[in-house]
Structure 1
Amino acid sequence: MLIGIPKEIKNNENRVALTPAGVHSLVSRGHRVLIESNAGLGSGFT
């Protein structure tokens, strides 16, 4: 399955719908994950 994660659109919203660990879990199960550029930029994940 192809899963897309969009970036936030509200001002001062830093959360993103999926953590790096969540992405890893989905990919390890054979899914493809696409994340929009700069999604979660202020969330603190690197």
Structure 2
Amino acid sequence: MTEEMFNKAMQLLPLTHDGLFFISCLFEPTIHANLINFLEKIPLGI
């Protein structure tokens, strides 16, 4: 997942049920090079 695509996905957060947001990054998300940066962009208390 590119950062641009992640940023676009973040715009959908207000539409999610109970703030549920799942990251896949095309495969195992925990090995994505930018995982920490992506997680830091997700606001608390959605």
TM interval, shorter chain, is 0.3 to 0.5
Whichever of the two has the greater Rg, that structure is 1
> With structure 2 as the length reference, what TM-score do the two structures score?
0.32
Higher relative contact order at CA 8 Å, sep ≥6: structure 1 or structure 2? 1
Specify which structure has the higher proportion of helix: 2
Specify which structure has the higher proportion of strand: 1
